[in-house]
Structure 1
């Protein structure tokens, strides 16, 4: 083990790596329950009291765990980094509510789009074109994309809790804060916020579980408790289902490729920012060089393709890995520990199916808030940087689409820059993307 992971060389030990792995797992384990709760929305007729719900929720939960564990094992055993991976927040919501819900794309075709995106990511990482693409996309758009996704998933959380509801005059308004669902969500949100502020490991997971048990109190009655431990659910409802509905006609569909590009754009730049940030914090980057960077990127990309085969949305590197790094995790052994703990969660399907929307909504709102911190990197004093960033960010929740935000942001950026006399800031690829997105918005948008 010492020879394989180079523990002494990294200044670590088996005990330190195990503690780091447990810490990382606790901070990101919420995705095991949140992701199925989001993806279940793509199955017609899968209401909480229907047989379909239990069948597909279990399958999505297993797919989430297997996708996360596989990608994290590759990261640990091949790249030898303490980074954990799982289906990304925001992209799972885009998958369920925009691609399948708003655009009406069958969930199996959407999984095919995730698979194709993963293949493109692999090709980009292997070919070395990664550096070129990174330089071509404006930094303000990258930062605003993450923030916009944060607003998007927070809005979904507020909506599912009934805190924000539809209104015929103002489109949205404040809901009934005294309803059981809203009250459980509000209590759960404060539990998460306070525990997080006190630096309690697993604060989001604790908040979800606490909200679930609070929901069992008769005055609330929003939790249908089904137990804690049980047999591993059947994954066959989602396993390899991406090939069932996918056809050559989909490859000729402009909407399909916009979906692929959106998944790719968010996955690629989210991974870039997360890996760079984590590597910096752990001291892996020396003289501007990130050793084994391609292995780390490929671990993420392969995780996405494998996750799609299992039946889950885009897998990406989790910033929560920073908690394990703070505990001293410096090698892939940390990631292996996370993967093992993920696999043990396969036996907790009854608990997962007991968790109501009122318990996952606080997590969506809180994680959405955390995703806004990147906005401090935008130069708000330069309107040619601030305006495209603002458009990118605000359009996502207001149109219920990550793709629309990215599209309008990349259209506004070169126009504002050019007519402000800052043509040199605009990469030629920006103009190509802007032109393609104009065509998308006019002719292809569903």
Structure 2
């Protein structure tokens, strides 16, 4: 039944491969169960309730992605989006977290409508092929930087002498991450099945005697109550200018982060069809929209497709069974909250760095001889890690693509929807 439903043979995969891929994806993104409550607590939200909301929203959205869209992508409250929620809307603009949750709810509802009318699907199709390939490469560099920075291998010097510098790799998390990189790399070159997942387990084991990883004193616990955040909306400010600005920013960040992740990871997995389209993209975008709506009701920031899904794809995940496995793991995680302190950034760093390598593969297919194609692709790749934003990378790529095609008199090569997307990108900077 599982074989037939997910078409495993047709996708050249097995139940074992899909399950390992799902576990790997979960391990690389499980940090969100700790980080999201920590960030949203700065907005005055109950940390325990946000933990439960984070896990449940990931369960619903990822299960929908697996069973409905049948794609190997996982979803949870997105990084960047949660920071905007807490530090900009609540602490910066002075609104309540209820106001911010209302904005997230409206965003989810708008996304459902946009998906139903194929607007988001049209935007995905409007991205030129070379930029789609560049998105995969850019995400590779972005995710590698996330791994390096999270483990302290690269740091931001406090004296401001350089933008980035080498951190302490002779002790602590930095050393453990380097050891993990060596272990996982050896497993890969030896063609060990499940190398990324096994690498994380071995790295965590090494981290215990090093004192970097602390074993939890408690294993099982009941999920904290959702009561402090469940359906906590505030309606009296929904027609304010600030709500429009907040809503537009959330829509923009989520739409293009999600589109970038779906296109980039699907490109790496060679899942694009003969027309360069992501299969079941409308269903995938619907899962994302429903996840955001449900997440707002539960009490968390915008749910988005996670770039760490690339780690599961790198392990061979090709169908919705990968996502279903990840969803089940988030459900189990509800009862094992104390354990997730073990899965630190030092443990996942090696996987994220190596997945960055895997994501680089489509660069071989980018046309670097035609500068109207090469420059937009290069800017897409460049800006994702350096602007620390997938969506900003897409902005630079698409806008430069339009400008260069027009300047060279090759305007007929531009899709009409691409013009609209480019205009929205430019508008975003003025509104933001």
TM bin, normalised by shorter chain, reads 0.7 to 0.9
Q: Deviations over 1:241-274 (max 9, x none)?
A: 7736994236644354133112112313533565
Distance 1:368 1:131 in 2: 26
Deviation at 1:29, TM superposition (A): 2.2
Distance 2:134 2:87 in 1: 24
Deviation at 1:100, TM superposition (A): 5.0
Residues 270 and 157 of structure 1: CA distance in aligned 2, closer, same or farther (over 3 Å): closer
Deviation at 1:171, TM superposition (A): 2.2
TM norm structure 2: 0.77
Question: Is there any run of 5+ residues in structure 1 with no aligned partner, and where?
Answer: 47-51
Deviation at 1:444, TM superposition (A): 3.5
1:28 correspondence with 2:22: no
Task: Specify the alignment match of 2:211 in structure 1.
Answer: 221
Q: Deviations over 1:138-167 (max 9, x none)?
A: 233333334333323322332232222224
Q: Deviations over 1:395-421 (max 9, x none)?
A: 232233334333332322211111122
Q: Which moved more, 1:287-296 or 1:234-243?
A: 287-296
Residues 216 and 270 of structure 1: CA distance in aligned 2, closer, same or farther (over 3 Å): closer
Equivalent runs, 1:68-217 vs 2, <5 Å: 68-75=58-65, 78=68, 81=70, 83-87=71-75, 92-96=78-82, 115-129=105-119, 132-167=122-157, 168-217=160-209
- The match for 1:39 among 21, 36, 45 is 36
- DSSP-derived class of the 1:384 partner: helix
Residues 31 and 67 of structure 1: CA distance in aligned 2, closer, same or farther (over 3 Å): farther
Deviation at 1:99, TM superposition (A): 6.5
1:234 correspondence with 2:224: yes
Equivalent runs, 1:380-399 vs 2, <5 Å: 380-399=368-387
Check conservation: 2:120, 2:285, Cα contact below 8 A: no
Residues 380 and 119 of structure 1: CA distance in aligned 2, closer, same or farther (over 3 Å): farther
Residues 297 and 198 of structure 1: CA distance in aligned 2, closer, same or farther (over 3 Å): farther
Equivalent runs, 1:46-445 vs 2, <5 Å: 56=47, 62-75=52-65, 78=68, 81=70, 83-87=71-75, 92-96=78-82, 115-129=105-119, 132-167=122-157, 168-217=160-209, 220-227=210-217, 229-234=219-224, 236=226, 239-240=229-230, 243=233, 247-248=237-238, 249=240, 252-254=243-245, 256-271=247-262, 294-295=282-283, 297-310=285-298, 311=300, 313-316=302-305, 318=309, 320=312, 339-441=327-429, 443-445=430-432
- DSSP-derived class of the 1:192 partner: helix
Residues 151 and 296 of structure 1: CA distance in aligned 2, closer, same or farther (over 3 Å): closer
Matched residue count: 418
Deviation at 1:10, TM superposition (A): 5.6
Check conservation: 1:64, 1:86, Cα contact below 8 A: no
Task: Specify the alignment match of 1:49 in structure 2.
Answer: none
RMSD: 4.3
Distance 1:373 1:401 in 2: 20
Question: Is there any run of 5+ residues in structure 2 with no aligned partner, and where?
Answer: none
Q: Deviations over 1:281-311 (max 9, x none)?
A: 9xxx799999977545534442343345443
Distance 2:363 2:356 in 1: 13
